[in-house]
Copies of this chain bind each other. A is one copy, B any other.
Amino acid sequence: MTVNPTPPAPTSVTINDVARRAGVSVMTVSNVVNGKTSVRPTTRQRVLDAIEATGYRVNPMARALAGGRNRLLSVIAPQLNLPYVSEVLQGATQAAERLGYDLVVMMIGERNTSDLSVMSRLSAGALLIQPSRRGRVRRLHLPQHVVSVDGPSDLPLVVDNYGGARQAMQHLLALGHTRIGFVSGLHSENILSGDTPEAQLWDRDDASERLRGYHDSMALAGLDVPQGYVQHGDYLKESGEVAVRALLALPRPPTALFVSGDAMALGAMHVAQDLGLHVPQDLSIVGFDDLPIAAASRPGLTTVRQPLQHMGETAVQMLIDLVDGQPVTLPPPFPTELAVRESTAPPPHTRPA
């Protein structure tokens, strides 16, 4: 079946049509639509009726051009099929819907050819989620107000990675583990050209914070970190596989692993299983992120959950406050939560033989 392009769309109804029909000026219609200055109830009703009758809807472009505010927010993310991004987005969407704002999403991939200026000019504010290292976002192309989640901006929302690591370690220590290995994530870089001092806040990157949490936990528990107990990964499954092989090949291998990302943790778990180990009986594993696959795996992966949806909601709230001209305060790092599943248990030697 072939579809031929349709001719130009019919002209839509404008504010003038409404004004004419209601017998008032366009100004009055505008005022009614925007609920601005006080309009006499009878006049207002007349305008409302005219709007209803004509099916009038404001033209966002014209409004934006004329300097008016749109109840529209844009989200900018590297990709949308990243679990991290979609979680934040989910929260953002809910908040936006609740507060009567619309949300549009743009992706900035590696090449960043995207002309962000479209949305940036049309929307009142932008939420940056985990902008990738490659696709640099220039300040110039962003709306006036920007809030970021896991990315740089004047208002960077961050998760308490250090605290999350401490939670994970506390769980393993409480179970009685003393030989705990660690697999790190990737060190991140800064992105926004023209970084503000605030951007540094974000630069305390996740990987380092989690590593610090591991080291502090071990130290506070009076435990040494044996040679080779800290392996470096890149958040991808494969690196978890490599890391666990190295860890298990150690003369005194760990009885538990704290892995900085779920994908790596699952990779590690599968390799351990392939090597004949039982999880959690022979090896406990804790992940980080609580991706969907963490709950779907067998055994279910104990992992540190980030309040991503909540962060998304908060970001949108802040954005709207900013747009409304209210001062906004950056909240402290968001606390994590430990999702305890089946991949953790006491170490082998503490159980009855």
**When each residue 68-83 of chain A gets 1 if its CB lies under 8 Å from chain B and 0 otherwise, what string results?**
0010101000011101
A39 within 8 A of B: no
| Distance between A91 CB and nearest chain B CB, rounded to angstroms | 11
| Distance A323 CA – B5 CA, assembled complex (angstroms) | 7
| Distance A296 CA – B266 CA, assembled complex (angstroms) | 8
> How many copies, total?
2
A248 within 8 A of B: no
**When each residue 38-82 of chain A gets 1 if its CB lies under 8 Å from chain B and 0 otherwise, what string results?**
000000000000000001010111101100001010100001110
Q: Kindly list chain B residues whose C-beta atoms are within 8 Å of the C-beta of A89.
A: 80-81
Which has the most chain B C-beta neighbours within 10 Å: A59, A80, A103? A80
Interface of A is mostly: mixed
One of A29-37, A118-126, A174-182 contacting the partner: A118-126
Which has the most chain B C-beta neighbours within 10 Å: A9, A87, A296, A326? A296
Q: Residue A293 contacts which of B1, B121, B296, B329 (CB distance < 8 angstroms)?
A: B296
| Distance A298 CA – B300 CA, assembled complex (angstroms) | 12
Residue of B nearest to A263 (CB): B296
In the complex, are the beta carbons of B122 and A325 less than 8 A apart?
Answer: no
A97 within 8 A of B: yes
**When each residue 1-14 of chain A gets 1 if its CB lies under 8 Å from chain B and 0 otherwise, what string results?**
11111101100000
Q: Residue A1 contacts which of B81, B325, B330 (CB distance < 8 angstroms)?
A: B330
Q: Residue A328 contacts which of B2, B8, B62, B327 (CB distance < 8 angstroms)?
A: B2
Q: Kindly list chain B residues whose C-beta atoms are within 8 Å of the C-beta of A209.
A: none
| Distance between A325 CB and nearest chain B CB, rounded to angstroms | 5
A24 within 8 A of B: no
A16 within 8 A of B: no
Q: Kindly list chain B residues whose C-beta atoms are within 8 Å of the C-beta of A329.
A: 1-3
Q: Kindly list chain B residues whose C-beta atoms are within 8 Å of the C-beta of A3.
A: 154-155, 322, 327-330
Q: Residue A97 contacts which of B59, B93, B113 (CB distance < 8 angstroms)?
A: B113
Which 7 pairs from chain A and chain B are nearest by CB?
Answer: A81-B86, A105-B105, A61-B61, A60-B118, A2-B329, A61-B64, A1-B330
A sample of 18 cross-chain residue pairs with beta-carbon separation below 8 angstroms, ordered by A number, consists of A2-B327, A3-B154, A4-B327, A5-B322, A5-B323, A5-B325, A5-B326, A5-B327, A6-B144, A8-B144, A59-B117, A60-B118, A60-B121, A61-B61, A81-B83, A104-B106, A292-B293, A298-B298
Binding site for B on A (CB under 8 A): 1-6, 8-9, 55, 57, 59-62, 64-65, 70, 72, 74, 79-81, 83, 86-87, 89-90, 93, 97, 100, 102-107, 109, 111, 113-115, 117-119, 121-122, 140, 144-145, 154-155, 198, 266, 270, 273, 292-293, 296-298, 322-323, 325-330
